[in-house]
Each structure stands twice: as structure tokens, then as C-alpha cells.
């Protein structure tokens, strides 16, 4: 099939199956409101076009997949390109048993289940290998006890991608396993955390004698660190591609031309320093898109790529710089707040929310370490507990 034939096919399918008046809601961790449409997308092979046909794909090239994504984006339709950005489905595809894979992957691609990430703990954020949540095998299931934090969507999730310690007598990276933990069961308590943006997307999760079937183990027992690296690569890929836009969406300019429009309204578009600042942010965005395309070309199922850390770190810098510029262009008006002042509302929200990208998915400092060690080949930081049995590692 030529590119022209593929584009014509996708346009014809969208014309027959998608109503352009439907508004795509912001991506959430809960079940998708477009489940019936996503089922059609999957059946047509557009959800994961690069996957084999027996797994719901069409064995297309990445370039063909991006053509499909562009046609879906042009009409505001969801569901395409999940072979590149659905971290849940790609992780399950690479590591789940065939039986669990066949059960869970279609649900993940069609939004039939809600998901959350159960990684960070109060004493294991920057160093995820230090997790102390434990999973003990009892027959054909694991008993789980521990605490997680900064978990988005935990209150509405059906499953949580959980890392837990299953062997305490080996070094920390070698005793972790990766599970799909059912969230709707006794023993799981979710407490929301109020954010600086006055939202509560994050949660603490307390796990007391909850159970996960052994069939929900991804990868080998005690081999969860490799699974986690794959999942993190997809998460960082998503965060490096794009970030959350203005909250109000009421008249405030969006997209790559937003800063130009704000500068024009402020009467400073001819200021050479302002133009230089806008050009710098624009250049960073273009460069980041090219870098992410390169990283995704290297990423194969079941692998991770340190290049993803470059994109995630770059997006963090872009968001902070763009928020600073919005505030600068608004001047004293940036002190205003509320729905009657949408530009100031958006500037303040984006300034605060930029820190989400600096922290979520691994802090900026962690990304710099990964880039230094795994991209540039610099010496590793000292880590005295890396080779000792985890049971002997001291903790606060």
C-alpha cells in the first residue's frame, strides 16, 4: 500500500466512523469515554499499526503509523499511535504471559480498564530499586504489603503496575518483581494529595494484605527491574513528546504560536530580546521532536532507551522557560487570577504545573544522571549498597 492509498483509506474510515463534533477529552488514567470507538480503531488495525496482525496490528512501518496518527489528529479522533505511547499495553505485550497478555492488552488499547503506576515510595523515589513494599508468594498468588506515593489516578484505577520486593537476600536491583495489581479489593486504601495547582491527581496508596495472582507477574520472578526500565522508557517518551496545556482554555492562545500571539498583544513583538527568547523556546521544541523521533526509532518492544531521558529533560526545560516568558509578557497582569483573567490564570497554572514534569517519571536530576552515565559514558556515582543483600541495607 502506498502512502497515498493509506491516507485515503484512513480518511474514508474516519469519515464513516468518527463524528468531528465529538471533543476528545484530556487523557486520564480511568476508563475511556470513547471505548466503543476505540474498539473500532483496534479492529481496523489503526491502534497499533506496527504490531503483528495476530496482535491487532497491521505490520506497518513506523512512518506509516505516523501517517495514520496525523490523519486522526487532523479530525481530533483518539486511539491511533498506541504502539508508540501506550505504556501499559506495550509493557504487557513485551513481558506478560501469553494468556494474561491476550486478556489485558485489548482492554488497555480500548480504554476498558483504568490504570495507575505503583512505583515510588516515601523512602524510594529517586532510587526506585530501594522499594520496600513486599510481595510474598502464597500458592498461586502473592500477598502484598507496603506503601506507594505520588500515584496518579489510583482512586479510579482497575489495575496498578506494581514493583515490589520478592527477594530480600540479593542486591536491590535483583530482588524486585513487576505485577499488574488489581486495585478494586480489600486492603488497598487511597488518600488524595493536594497539589500546588489546587488539584488532587496524586495519591498515597496503602496496601495491607492485598493479593495479586501469580499469573499477573510480568517478566520472570525477581526480574522486574528490566520490566520497569521498559515501562519508564515509554512514560518518559510520552512526557517528552508533549505536556499538559492551559487549564482554562478560554481564549488563551495555545500551540507553538502562543508566545508570538502574547508578544503581539503586549506590543513587544518587535523587541529583539523578546524575539530571541521566543525563538529559543521554539528551537528547543523542534529539536526535542527530532530527538524523540530518533529515540523511538531505537526503541523496540522489551527494551529501554536512555535517549528518552533527553526528551523528558528537554520538555521540563521548555515548560519552565515558556511559563517564565508568559509571565514576562503579561507583566503586572500576571498577578491576576480567576476565570475573568484567563491569560493570567493559564500563565500561573503553567508555571506551577511545570514542576510536575520536573518530578514525575524521574526527576530532572535523575535524568541528568542517566544521560551522563548511559549516553555520555561518564563514571557512575558511588553506590555502596548496590551489591550487598537488600536485607542488610540500612534505611531511615
Catalytic sites, residue numbers: 235
Question: How many whole angstroms separate alpha carbon 202 and alpha carbon 152?
Answer: 4
Cβ-based neighbours of 15, under 8 Å, separated by 6 or more: none
Name which of 180, 150, 152, 182 is nearest 164 in CA terms.
180
- Cβ(227)–Cβ(164) below 8 Å: no
- Taking each helix axis from N to C terminus, what angle separates 98-109 and 87-95, rounded to the nearest 10 degrees? 170
The answer to whether the CB of 308 falls within 8 A of the CB of 236 is: yes
Distance of CA 387 to the CA centre of its chain: 30
Q: How many residues does the chain have?
A: 396
State the CB neighbour count (10 A cutoff) for residue 26.
8
Dist. CA 54–CA 77, nearest whole Å: 24
What's the grid cell of residue 53?
A: 496482525
Cα angle, residue 113 at apex, residues 81 and 100 outer, rounded to 5°: 85
Q: 332: burial class by Cβ within 10 Å (0-12, 13-18, 19+)?
A: exposed
Burial class of residue 189 in the structure, from the number of CB atoms within 10 Å of its CB (0-12 exposed, 13-18 middle, 19+ buried) = middle
Nearest 5°: the CA angle 258, 270, 280 is 55
Amino acid at each position: 500500500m502506498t502512502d497515498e492509498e493509506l491516507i485515503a483509506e484512513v480518511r474514508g474510515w474516519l469519515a464513516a466512523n468518527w463524528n468531528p463534533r465529538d471533543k476528545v477529552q484530556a487523557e486520564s488514567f480511568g476508563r475511556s469515554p470513547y471505548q466503543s470507538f476505540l474498539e473500532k480503531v483496534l479492529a481496523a488495525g489503526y491502534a497499533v499499526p506496527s504490531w503483528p496482525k495476530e496482535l491487532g496490528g497491521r505490520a506497518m512501518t513506523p512512518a506509516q503509523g505516523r501517517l495514520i496518527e496525523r490523519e486522526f489528529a487532523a479530525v481530533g479522533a483518539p486511539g491511533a499511535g498506541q504502539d508508540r505511547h501506550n505504556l501499559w499495553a506495550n509493557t504487557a505485550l513485551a513481558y506478560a504471559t501469553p494468556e494474561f497478555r491476550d486478556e489485558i492488552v485489548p482492554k488497555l488499547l480500548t480504554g476498558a480498564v483504568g490504570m495507575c503506576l505503583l512505583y515510588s515510595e516515601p523512602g524510594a523515589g529517586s532510587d526506585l530499586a530501594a522499594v520496600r513494599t513486599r510481595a510474598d508468594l502464597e500458592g498461586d498468588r502473592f500477598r502484598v504489603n507496603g506503601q506507594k506515593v505520588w500515584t496518579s489516578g489510583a482512586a479510579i484505577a482497575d489495575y496498578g503496575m506494581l514493583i515490589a520486593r520478592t527477594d530480600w537476600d540479593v542486591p536491590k536491583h535483583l530482588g524486585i518483581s513487576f505485577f499488574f495489581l488489581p486495585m478494586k479489593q480489600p486492603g488497598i486504601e487511597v488518600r488524595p494529595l493536594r497539589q500546588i495547582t489546587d488539584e488532587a491527581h496524586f495519591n498515597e496508596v496503602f496496601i495491607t494484605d492485598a493479593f495479586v495472582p501469580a499469573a499477573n507477574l510480568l517478566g520472570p520472578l525477581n526480574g522486574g527491574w528490566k520490566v520497569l526500565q521498559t515501562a519508564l522508557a515509554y512514560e518518559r517518551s510520552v512526557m517528552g513528546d508533549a505536556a499538559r496545556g492551559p487549564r482554562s482554555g478560554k481564549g488563551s492562545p495555545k500551540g507553538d504560536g502562543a508566545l508570538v500571539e502574547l508578544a503581539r498583544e503586549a506590543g513587544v513583538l518587535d523587541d529583539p530580546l523578546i524575539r530571541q527568547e521566543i525563538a529559543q523556546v521554539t528551537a528547543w521544541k523542534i529539536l526535542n521532536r527530532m530527538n524523540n523521533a530518533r529515540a523511538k526509532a531505537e526503541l523496540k518492544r522489551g527494551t529501554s532507551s536512555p535517549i528518552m531521558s533527553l526528551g523528558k529533560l528537554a520538555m521540563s526545560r521548555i515548560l519552565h522557560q515558556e511559563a517564565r516568558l508568559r509571565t514576562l509578557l503579561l507583566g503586572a497582569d500576571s498577578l491576576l487570577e480567576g476565570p475573568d483573567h484567563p491569560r493570567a490564570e493559564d500563565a500561573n497554572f503553567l508555571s506551577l504545573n511545570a514542576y510536575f514534569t520536573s518530578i514525575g517519571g524521574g526527576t530532572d536530576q535523575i535524568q541528568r544522571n542517566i544521560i551522563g552515565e548511559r549516553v555520555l559514558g561518564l563514571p557512575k556515582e558511588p553506590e555502596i549498597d548496590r551489591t550487598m543483600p537488600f536485607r542488610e541495607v540500612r534505611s531511615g
